[in-house]
């Protein structure tokens, strides 16, 4: 028992350090984008790929690499992922041309796509009985802390020695985390040894990024760009082929039970809905604070930290409670809090105070902190241990992809209302927020429906196990 506890603490510590690195570096790199553009003379649409590369590639590769982790072992893939991320950061710091920098970002994001699904899967696998939710909550809290501190640390290094120092700092942190991971992430683990569906992976990697590229082009270059519909068409065709392949394949990337089991499906849909709602709020808030309220940079930074800080504070609490009570209740409470925050955001106007924005962000952040650990606990509770990598990959892929879709819809709405009407920004923002508001409410309804049909978590276990023997009871908390 003492040995299991020591291993859990050791593994969770290094995984939390990795999570902090990934989310902290994302914020710090975003701060460096304007200086990178000025240094290389790149266009705005081109330099945006430095910031969005992680979103597109990590979302696209997460599911494939999650499946690879189940087959080859999650620990090795996580170690390689952290190593690639640190190596890519070091190479980016030395890049002499803009294409070289983009290539280095590709290396970083491939490492990120390897590590992120594995981090949740490994955490769920090593957690002691009755502590899965708490462990996942701590892991998510480290991500919130990284997201909150990223812009500040990035600004410090940017001021100290330019944009290269930002990547160099990420490389040094990555080196320290990498050494810790290679030393501490040891021990036997399950490897299925099953064949990998390379054709299904190739079609998915072609289709999902095409949709995200189409969304990014629509947001950055305008929805009238002639390339946008072609990217959407390519993505739609490839994803249809992928679904057909998965339905007929003997060894699909996503095992059929994970796609068809109602409680799991609702959990993934819940993740999609809340991500599609809060990613656009993250984008709109700094624009509103700068363009409408004319908030000073320091105050703006403090207000923007409200969401990740409250999410980081609520995540361990939600995870611990999810180990002791029905997680659906926590997910429902989180969706209600997120909906309240979006409702408050919809009420902002030219005369609103920064405190009102802070309150809205705190409500959304608390909702995220309540939803994610409890939702992840449910996903891993109902997934067989041998498919933890795929479950982690689905969680990693659903959130950013849905967030990109939400941002695309919001930008399209606001561009249509503001074009030719400079004073229409606040009404357009209100309409966009009201369009987002039904998403967490719909997720709330789905969660309550699942609870009504399945009952408490113990009853859920008995129902699922009795009808689907693919869920081994020996892996349950």
Kindly report the backbone phi and psi dihedral angles of residue 185, in degrees, each rounded to the nearest multiple of 5, phi listed first: -90, 80
Residue 350 to residues 289, 291, 292, 476: CA-CA distances in angstroms? 10, 10, 6, 52
pLDDT average, residue stretch 219-237: 75
CA atoms of 182 and 82, how far apart (whole Å) = 10
> 394-437: per-residue pLDDT in tens?
888 777 778 777 877 887 787 777 766 667 788 888 888 899 99
The H or E element spanning position 277 is: helix 262-291
Most confident of 10-14, 295-299, 404-408: 10-14
The answer to whether residues 461 and 476 touch, using CB atoms and an 8 Å cutoff, is yes
Residue closest to 443 by CA, chosen among 287, 211, 276, 322: 276
473 DSSP 8-state letter: G
CA atoms of 353 and 367, how far apart (whole Å) = 22
35/223: higher pLDDT: 35
pLDDT over 80 (residue 201): no
424 DSSP 8-state letter: G
Percent with pLDDT over 90 in the chain: 5
CA atoms of 395 and 213, how far apart (whole Å) = 20
CA atoms of 440 and 342, how far apart (whole Å) = 9
* 151 class by beta-carbon count within 10 Å (0-12 exposed, 13-18 middle, 19+ buried): buried
pLDDT over 80 (residue 349): yes
* Res 336: pLDDT: 92
pLDDT band for position 260 (50/70/90)? low
Most confident of 287-291, 295-299, 315-319, 469-473: 315-319
CA atoms within 13 A of residue 197's CA, in its CB half-sphere: 24
* Res 340: pLDDT: 93
* Res 341: pLDDT: 92
pLDDT over 50 (residue 438): yes
> 87-125: per-residue pLDDT in tens?
988 898 888 888 888 888 888 888 888 888 888 888 888
* Res 337: pLDDT: 93
When the pLDDT of each residue in the chain is averaged and rounded to a whole number, the result is 78
Can you tell me whether residue 249 is helix, strand or coil? coil
The answer to whether residues 24 and 149 touch, using CB atoms and an 8 Å cutoff, is yes
Residue ranges of E strands in 243-320: none
> 133-157: per-residue pLDDT in tens?
888 888 888 888 888 887 777 777 7
> Which residues have a Cβ under 8 Å from the Cβ of 198 and sit 6 or more positions away?
none
CA dihedral 402, 406, 412, 417 (to 10 degrees): 170
């Amino acid at each position: 028992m003492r040995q299991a506890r020591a291993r859990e603490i050791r593994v969770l510590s290094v995984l939390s350090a990795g999570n902090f690195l990934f989310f902290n570096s994302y914020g710090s790199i975003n701060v460096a984008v304007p200086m990178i553009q000025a240094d290389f003379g790149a266009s705005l649409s081109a330099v945006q790929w430095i910031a969005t590369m992680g979103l597109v590639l990590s979302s696209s590769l997460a599911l494939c690499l999650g499946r690879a982790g189940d087959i080859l072992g999650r620990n090795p893939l996580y170690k390689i992922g952290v190593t690639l991320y640190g190596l890519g950061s070091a190479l980016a710091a030395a890049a002499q041309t803009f294409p070289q920098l983009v290539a280095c970002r590709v290396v970083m994001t491939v490492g990120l796509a390897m590590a992120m699904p594995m981090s949740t899967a490994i955490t769920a696998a090593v957690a002691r009985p009755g502590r899965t939710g708490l462990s996942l909550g701590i892991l998510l809290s480290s991500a919130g802390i990284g997201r909150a501190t990223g812009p500040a640390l990035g600004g410090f290094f940017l001021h100290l020695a330019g944009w290269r120092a930002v990547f160099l700092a990420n490389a040094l942190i990555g080196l320290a985390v990498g050494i810790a991971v290679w030393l501490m992430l040891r021990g036997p683990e399950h490897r299925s040894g099953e064949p990998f569906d390379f054709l299904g992976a190739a079609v998915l990697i072609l289709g999902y990024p095409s949709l995200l590229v189409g969304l990014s082009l629509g947001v950055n270059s305008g929805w009238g760009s002639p390339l946008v519909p072609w990217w959407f068409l390519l993505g739609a065709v490839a994803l249809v082929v992928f679904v057909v392949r998965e339905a007929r394949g003997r060894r699909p990337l996503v095992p059929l039970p994970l796609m068809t089991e109602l409680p799991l499906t609702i959990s993934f849909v819940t993740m999609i809905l809340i991500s599609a709602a809060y990613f656009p709020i993250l984008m709109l808030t700094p624009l509103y604070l700068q363009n409408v309220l004319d908030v000073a940079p320091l105050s703006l930074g403090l207000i923007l930290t409200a969401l990740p800080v409250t999410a980081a504070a609520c995540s361990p609490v939600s995870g611990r409670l999810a180990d002791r009570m029905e997680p659906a209740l926590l997910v429902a409470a989180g969706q209600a809090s997120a909906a309240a925050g979006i409702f408050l955001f919809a009420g902002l106007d030219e005369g609103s105070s920064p405190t009102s924005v802070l309150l809205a962000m705190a409500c959304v952040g608390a909702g995220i902190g309540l939803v994610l650990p409890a939702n992840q606990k449910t996903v891993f509770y109902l997934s067989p241990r041998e498919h933890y990598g795929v479950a982690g990959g689905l969680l990693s892929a659903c959130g950013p992809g849905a967030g990109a879709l939400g941002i695309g819809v919001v930008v399209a709405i606001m561009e249509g209302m503001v074009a030719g009407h400079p004073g229409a920004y606040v009404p357009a923002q209100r309409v966009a927020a009201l369009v987002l508001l039904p998403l967490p409410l719909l997720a709330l309804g789905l969660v309550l429906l699942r609870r009504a049909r399945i009952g408490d978590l113990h009853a859920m276990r008995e129902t699922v196990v009795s009808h689907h023997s693919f869920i081994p009871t020996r892996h349950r908390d």
